[in-house]
Amino acid sequence: MKAEFKRMALDKIKGALLCVFVMQNEGAPIKGYDKEFKAHNFEGKLEQVVHLCTTGKERFDHLLVVGLGEKKDFRLDNFRKAAGVATRYASILKQKEFTIYVPEGNETAQAITEGALLASYKFTHYKTEEKDKFQIEKVYLMSEKDLSRGVGLGTIYAGAQNYARDLDEHPANIATPTAIAKEAKVLAKEKNLHITIYEKKALQKMKMKAILAVARGSEEPPILVKLEYNKGRNYPLYCIVGKGITFDSGGISLKPSKGMHEMKYDKTGAINVLGVMKAVAELKLPIRLIGLMPLTENLPSGNAQKPGDIIKAYNGKTIEVLNTDAEGRLILADALSFAAEQKPKAIIDMATLTGAILVCLGRHAAGLFSNDDKLANILEEAGDETHERVWRLPVWKEYSEMMKSDFADIKNISEQGEAGSITAAAFLQEFIGDTKWVHLDIAGVGNINEKHAYLSKGATGIGVRLVTKALVKLSEKK
């Protein structure tokens, strides 16, 4: 679905379906429907809907009114939710086009555009029946004021997130490391990004032994993708890094079979890197940006790495592998070391790293870990604005002590069985040197199975708008 802005007064709008939003108990901006509201017990509660046929007395055939909730509890994300509900309803009505009236401001227009576009997304690549493929073609955002900037920004942010969702949803037999690297090439060509692809021989030469160790059990060759935006330009440099396990069986430390099919989402961090690179290029931010995507499968075989193995990472640190299902931090160890070597002003990594973060925060926030308060604050602000919220957890020295190994420099899990997400972050911190760094554990938010106003079951792409917004904020700092 595409979003298009049209400047028009509310009383001039015509078409098949018009959607308007109202605060609770404040009534619709279109007069003459109070009796209908009362008949439908419509109060304007958040996500509450009333659908009215205008029976020829208006310029539009159908009026859809969606509640924004109480004014005292209002936040910008309520507009995303209302727009998502409206879009889903328009889809049920099989409307190829519909209109949303935007009540105020570019921020509101951006949020409504994001909510509508995110709700319109459907993954239908493997559906064969036409009834399953219906898509709304266009939503018109209309207002008396010029809100084209907000609609344009919403299109970029939601477009990048939907792009990531679409790639992330593909199963492991399709979305192999090689296939994802090819997609990165396509994006690089479209957005004028510089790309370098390090295949297995190059990784061996570079001594990326942690990535290679994880890949040993798979017949799919590992790959490290490096994308660069504004390469060589005189702008501040930042790095984003994403975990790209295209399928995670746990390796020799095999996972339970229940839910293992969802391990196709263990590549979400890397896929989000592609989404952020797309958005940053379209926003034309005055920064340099390197995106790193270590890509491999984690499978058991006669050649797979084993519990007790000791490997040497790219920065020379030795790692005792106590659990082969703690593999994401291993491939990130090499990628983060490589990122730090580029001397960026900051590194942001995204990873579906630990099940423990789901226990800690549920599905409503990503875990944030950082060695720099100002950088962490920027991510927190960006999370609040995009409603891709984060919650900061400590990475104190005591947690690093828990990761010391008797036989190597560090081990890949703590044997105490405590603070699983924090000790994972403490492990990663060993590979960033003195660089300012934020780690986002997105294991709880990377995919969903429950009802959501503007995200459907499956890959969410959460992290794309968050990190993009953080980079916008960093680009504005002098």
Residue 157 lies in a domain: no
Count CA atoms within 13 Å of residue 227 on its CB side. Answer: 33
Our measurement of the distance from residue 365's CA atom to the centroid of its chain's CA atoms, rounded to an integer in Å, reads: 12
Q: How far is CA 9 from CA 78, 237, 267, 342, 351, in A?
A: 23, 44, 45, 52, 45
- Assign 32 a pLDDT band (cuts: 50, 70, 90): confident
Distance of CA 173 to the CA centre of its chain: 22
**Band (34; pLDDT cuts 50, 70, 90):** confident
Task: Give the pLDDT confidence score for residue 460 in this predicted structure.
Answer: 98
pLDDT of 224 higher than 90: yes
Same domain for 310 and 345, yes or no, is: yes
Q: Are residues 365 and 229 in the same domain?
A: yes
Q: Are residues 239 and 333 in the same domain?
A: yes
Residue 110, CB-side half-sphere exposure with 13 Å CA sphere = 16
- CA terminus-to-terminus distance, the chain: 37
User: Model's pTM, two decimal places?
Assistant: 0.97
In a 3-state reduction of DSSP, which class is residue 406? coil
For residues 300 and 396, state if they share a domain: yes
In this predicted model, what pLDDT tens digit does every residue of 89-104 receive, in sequence order? Answer: 999 999 999 999 998 8
Judgement on whether residues 180 and 61 belong to the same structural domain of the protein: no
Tell me, yes or no, whether 61 and 201 share the same domain: no
Confidence of residue 35 (pLDDT cuts 50, 70, 90): confident
Q: Are residues 333 and 299 in the same domain?
A: yes
Distance in angstroms (rounded) separating the CA atoms of residues 46 and 82: 7
**199 pLDDT band (50/70/90 cuts)?**
very high
Confidence bin at 477 (pLDDT 50/70/90): confident
Tell me, yes or no, whether 152 lies in a domain.
Answer: no
Expressed as residue numbers, the domain containing 271 is: 163-476
On whether both 330 and 183 belong to a single domain, the answer is yes
Distance CA 337, CA 339 (A): 5
**Angle at 217 (CA atoms; ends 214, 222), nearest 5 degrees:** 55
* Among 114, 146, 178, residue at a domain's last position: 146
CATH code (residue 377): 3.40.630.10
CA–CA distance, 275 with 463 (Å, rounded to integer): 9
Does residue 120 fall inside a structural domain?
Answer: yes
Q: How confident is the model at residue 478 (pLDDT cuts 50, 70, 90)?
A: low
**CB of 138 within 8 A of CB of 3?**
yes
- Helices (H) and strands (E) counted in the chain, each on its own, are 14, 20
Which residue, 343, 293, 292, 337, is CA-closest to 312? 337
Q: Which of 90, 121, 146 is the last residue of a domain?
A: 146
Number of independent structural domains in the chain: 2
CB 390 within 8 A of CB 366: yes
Q: Name the average pLDDT for the chain.
A: 96
Write out the two tokens for 22. 């109202």
Residue type, 266: D
Q: Are residues 382 and 436 in the same domain?
A: yes
Please list the active-site residues. Answer: 255, 329
Residue-wise pLDDT for 128-137, tens only, equals 888 888 999 9
* Contact predicate 2/75, CB 8 Å: no
Structural domain includes residue 267: yes
One-letter amino acid identity for 439? H
